[in-house]
Structure 1
Amino acid sequence: MAFGGFNQGGGNNAMSEINMVPLIDVMLVLLIVFMITAPLLTHGVKIDLPAASSQPNEEKPETVALAMDGDGKLYWNDEPITDADLAGRLAIAAAAVPQPELHLRADRETRYQKIAEVMSAAREAGVQKMGFITVPAK
C-alpha cells in the first residue's frame, strides 16, 4: 500500500519541512515538569528570631583647627603656638585613636611655602585626614 499524494509521478523528492509537533510536545512536557518542581525549590524553615534593638556607637573623631595668618604665625585650636611646638602636637594628634581630622585655615596673605611646610610636617607626623577650611564667596 502506497502512501503519498495523488501525484502519480515516480519522483522521490525529499521532504523539506521540519516536523514541529514532537518539539512542541517536548517543550510542553518540560514546562509542566518545571511548573511542578519550582514551588518545591523555595523550601524554607520558619523560625521565630528574637528581636533586639541597638544603636551603633559612632565615635566621631575630634577636629583640630590649625590656622595660619598672613605673618606665618600658627594657631592650634585658636591657641598660638610656635613652629617648634607644631611637630610635637602633630605627633600627639597622629597617635590618638581615633585620629582627629586636621582642618587647615590659612589667611589670604599666607605664603604658599608656609602652607606646604605645614602639610609636609603633618604627613611626616602620620596625620591621615587633612582638609582646608574656606569661606564661601558672598
Structure 2
Amino acid sequence: MAFSARQDATPISGINVTPLVDVLLVLLIIFMISAPVVAHKARVDLPSPGSQPPAAMMEPIDITIEPNGMTFWNHVLVTDAALATQMALLGSREGDKPSIHISASDDAAYEDVAKVLAEAKFNGLSKIDFVNRD
C-alpha cells in the first residue's frame, strides 16, 4: 500500500474559510430572526402627573355558588333570571364597571360556575376574581 507524499516540503499557507463562513451565516440568520423581537415597542399609557386622582373604587359584587345550585348575589339568594338581570344592569352601566368576586363551593357543579362566567362575559363584565371561601 503506497501513500503519495508531496514532493515539496513547503507548508500549506492557505486558511480554510468554509467553517468561518458557515458560522457567520448562522449568526446572521439568528440576528435576522431576533432583531424584530428586540425592536418591538409596547405602548404603555401612564397617568400624567397633573391628572385627577382615580375615583373611589366600587365595591365588588360577591357571587356565591352553593353545591345544590343555589346562587347568592351579595349574600342574597337569586334565581338564574335575576342573576342575568343584575349582570345586564351592571354591563349597561357607563364608565368603570365593578369587579365580580366568585366564591364557589368545592362541591358546586361546574355547570353552575360556567353559567355565571358566561353571563358575565355576555354582559361585558371582565373583572372577575375567584375568591376562597372562609
| Alpha-carbon distance in 1 for matches of 2:58, 2:91 | 12
* 1:82 maps to 2:70: no
Runs of 5+ consecutive residues of structure 2 not aligned to the other structure: 1-49
The aligned residue for residue 101 of structure 1 is 99
What amino acid sits opposite 1:94 in the alignment?
A: G
Is 2:103–2:133's contact at 8 Å kept on the other side of the alignment?
no
Q: What is the RMSD of the two structures over their aligned residues, measured on CA atoms?
A: 2.1
Q: CA deviation at 1:57?
A: 4.2
Per the normalisation by structure 1, the TM-score is: 0.55
Paired position in structure 1 for 2:125: 127
Say if 1:94 and 1:100, in contact at 8 Å, map to a contact too: no
Query: Do the aligned partners of residues 57 and 127 (structure 1) sit closer, same or farther apart at CA in structure 2, a change above 3 Å counting?
Result: closer
Give the direction of change, closer, same or farther, for the CA distance of 1:135–1:68 in structure 2 (3 Å limit). closer
Amino acid at match of 1:108: D
- How far apart, CA to CA, are the structure 1 residues paired with 2:133 and 2:115? 22
Bigger Cα Rg: 1
Q: Which residue of 2 aligns with 1:61?
A: 58
State the identity as a percent: 27
- Post-superposition Cα deviations, 1:49-102, rounded to whole Å, max 9, x if no partner, equal xxxx99724321220001110101010000110011111100111223320101
- Where does structure 1 lack aligned partners over 5 or more consecutive residues? 1-52
Runs of 4+ displaced beyond 4 Å: none
- State the distance in 2 between where 1:114 and 1:134 align: 17
Q: Which amino acid aligns with 1:105?
A: S
Distance 1:128 1:55 in 2: 24
Q: Aligned partners of 1:121, 1:56: CA distance in 2, in Å?
A: 32
3-state SS of 1:98 partner: coil
Cα shift readout 1:90-133 (whole Å, capped 9, x = no counterpart): 01112233201011011111011111111011100111211100
TM-score by length of 2: 0.56
What is the Cα deviation at residue 135 of structure 1?
4.3
